[in-house]
Amino acid sequence: MSRFWSPVVHSLSPYVPGEQPKRDDVVKLNTNENPFGPSPRVLAAITAEATDRLRLYPDPHASRLRDAIAARYGVAADQVFVGNGSDEVLAHTFQALLAHDAPLLFPDITYSFYPVYCGLYGIAYEEVPVDDGMRVRIGDYRRPCGAIILPNPNAPTGIGLAGDAIAALAGDHPDQVVVIDEAYVDFGADSAVPLVARHDNLLVIQTFSKSRSLAGLRVGFAIGQRPLIEALERVKDSFNSYPLDRLAIAGAVAAVEDDGWFQETRTRIMGNRDALAGALGNLGFEVLPSQANFLFARHPRHAGADLAARLRDRGVLVRHFQKPRIEDFLRITVGTDDQCHRLLEELRRLVHPAGASKS
Ligand SMILES: *Cc1c(COP(=O)(O)O)cnc(C)c1O
């Protein structure tokens, strides 16, 4: 606290990201990063871009990247907005499209950055409870509101909604913006991108951080009809004209173009996820059905905080949220085969201390 702070800074409760340990001998399953590296073509493209040209500002419109994304997703380049990570795209979206007199709606169990942005931009919101199975019920959103945002699949539950549910949600609210945060959609859920042509109120946001293994490059994007994209451009050009640097543009273009790498790594992650879910079930965990690159699981006899702390002592990081309804859950990123084995080995000792070698 300081007398120099503005009133809004006094009022903020900033987002606390998952731990990034200094040591690299830990099994890091806490921030949903991709355990497989980015495509070698991405690394080559970034290296090729690291030249004397770095003295020049990048293209403020990142046109090469918007063209590549547009071609990949079958939309026009002017229906694509890119930003410095989808967190930046989300921040501009909250300010440009979600700040209205009526409250913004989002699930009570969801990405914890949403209430943080509401605090930053002074947006009133209402949390809509997920059901006892932690599912989003679209019918619960049929109430007066200023706008709606939800991740699909939801985070941190991993549970996805079918495309027709998203279409119904957008159709229920023709005069409100409906934002679908598809950070994890490439791990098996339905994307709402094909719905954008029919719904002028729908904005779909994706990231290169998870399925394209580029969390460190900071690239995200939104797809929507022109008026929504123009709102984001107006905010961006009033804030920072060059959110994507030259290296990020070059790397992200190569990532979009290397579809083989993308398909192979996401398929491996989905396979590891299903195997890990089965193994956790065998250890007595209740595992929510995930369409993401993480699992949300709880054990009937062990508190979540305790399991997370004990795993941490043994060099395995998972995410735990000290929040009502989910305090007994662990959010576990799907890792490589080796990482999943290490996790299971430690959990086996923690949940069956006597018969450590069983199951
Ligand atoms: C990871 C994540 C993001 C942010 O990703 P960036 O790294 O900022 O692109 C956005 N929404 C959800 C739900 C996420 O889990």
Over the stretch 124-154, which tens digit does the pLDDT of each residue have?
Answer: 999 999 999 999 999 999 999 999 999 999 9
Q: Which of these ranges, 15-24, 206-215, 330-339, has the smallest mean pLDDT?
A: 15-24
The arithmetic mean of pLDDT across residues 88-98, rounded, is 98
pLDDT of residue 358: 44
pLDDT for 357 beyond 70: no
> Roughly what angle, to the nearest 10 degrees, separates helices 86-93 and 113-121?
40
pLDDT of residue 37: 94
Cα separation of 158 and 203, whole Å?
Answer: 20
pLDDT of residue 354: 64
Residue nearest to atom 12 of ligand 1 (CA): 183
Cα separation of 192 and 152, whole Å?
Answer: 9
Residue nearest to atom 1 of ligand 1 (CA): 183
Q: pLDDT band at 355, cuts 50/70/90? A: low
Q: Retrieve residue 22's tokens.
A: 């200094």
Residue nearest to atom 14 of ligand 1 (CA): 183
The arithmetic mean of pLDDT across residues 328-354, rounded, is 94
Q: Is residue 42 within 8 Å of residue 36, measured between CB atoms?
A: no
| Ligand 1 lining (C-beta closer than 6 Å) | 32, 85-87, 111, 151, 155, 181, 183, 207, 209, 215, 220
Cα-to-centroid distance, 87 and ligand 1 (Å): 6
Q: Retrieve residue 316's tokens.
A: 């395995």
Q: pLDDT band at 25, cuts 50/70/90? A: confident
Percent of residues, the chain, with pLDDT higher than 70: 98
The ligand 1 atom nearest the CA atom of 155? 13
**Angle value at C-alpha 295, between 292 and 297, nearest 5 degrees:** 150
pLDDT tens digit sequence for 149-195: 999 999 999 999 999 999 999 999 999 999 999 999 999 999 999 99
Q: pLDDT band at 24, cuts 50/70/90? A: confident
pLDDT of residue 9: 94
Residue position matching structure tokens 């020049």: 56
- The average confidence (pLDDT) of the chain is 96
pLDDT for 209 beyond 90: yes
The arithmetic mean of pLDDT across residues 66-82, rounded, is 98
The ligand 1 atom nearest the CA atom of 210? 1
